[in-house]
Amino acid sequence: MMDEAKRDRGLLRIDTDECKGCGLCVEACPPKVIRLSDRLNHSGYRTAIYAGKGCSGCGICFMACPEPGAITVMRLTNRKSDVSTGLEGATQCAGN
């Protein structure tokens, strides 16, 4: 339970093949957890990389990024366990 509490609200996935290193996401990110890499990607760009922690999952970097799929933003959500979900699904089916 302690581990769960420490987890960041958001998580970033950056496709370094698609990224062109414009840096707009770095500028846009409110908690400033994105920076440009020191290494160049195959296109010769210094790409955006996630610092690894501190993402709030706000999604602002996503909209600031000009590439359709370079950034994917995830957010931590709570849900009930698998057993329960399965039952809910069955109920819905029956209801239909």
Partner 1 sequence: MSSEMVSEYTVVHEKAKSFYESYDRKEELPHQTHFCPGCGHGIVHKMLAQAIDELGIQDKTILVGPIGCSVFTYYYFDVGNVSAAHGRAPAVATAMKRSRPESIVIGYQGDGDLSAIGSAEILHAANRGEHITVIFVNNGIYSMTGGQAAPTTLLGQKSTTTPGGRSAATEGYPLHVSELLATLQAPVYIERVGLGDNKQIAQAKRAIKRAVENQVRGLGFSLVEVLSPCPTIWKMPPVEAQHWVNDVMEKTFPLAVLCDRTKEAVPRPLAAAGPALEDIPHLLGVHEEGLPEGNSAAIKRPAEDLDLRVRVAGFGGQGVLLLGEVLAEAGLDAGLEVSWLPSYGPEIRSGTSNCHVRLAGRPIDSPLVVEPNVLLAMNEPSLRKFYASVHPDGWILYNGETIPEECNRKDVHVLACQFSQVADELGDPRVANMVMLGALLEIAAVLPEASIDAALLRLVKNQRWVQLDERALARGRELYKEAEVSHACRG
Identify the residue among 38, 39, 79, 92 touching partner 1 (CB under 8 A). Answer: 79
Minimum CB–partner distance for residue 79 and partner 1 (Å): 6
What are the C-alpha distances in Å from 42 to residues 18, 38, 45, 72? Answer: 10, 13, 7, 20
Please pick, from the candidates 87, 89, 90, 91, the single residue that binds partner 1 as defined by CB under 8 A.
Answer: 87
Q: Which of 31, 54, 56, 59 binds partner 1 (CB under 8 A)?
A: 59
If phi > 0 it is left, if psi is from -120 to 50 it is alpha, else beta; for residue 49 that is beta
* 76's tokens: 């931590």
Instruction: Please tell me whether residue 27 binds partner 1 under the rule CB under 8 A.
Output: yes
In terms of CB distance, is 80 or 93 closer to partner 1? 80
Distance CA(15)–CA(72), nearest Å, equals 8
Number of residues binding to partner 1, judged by CB under 8 A: 42
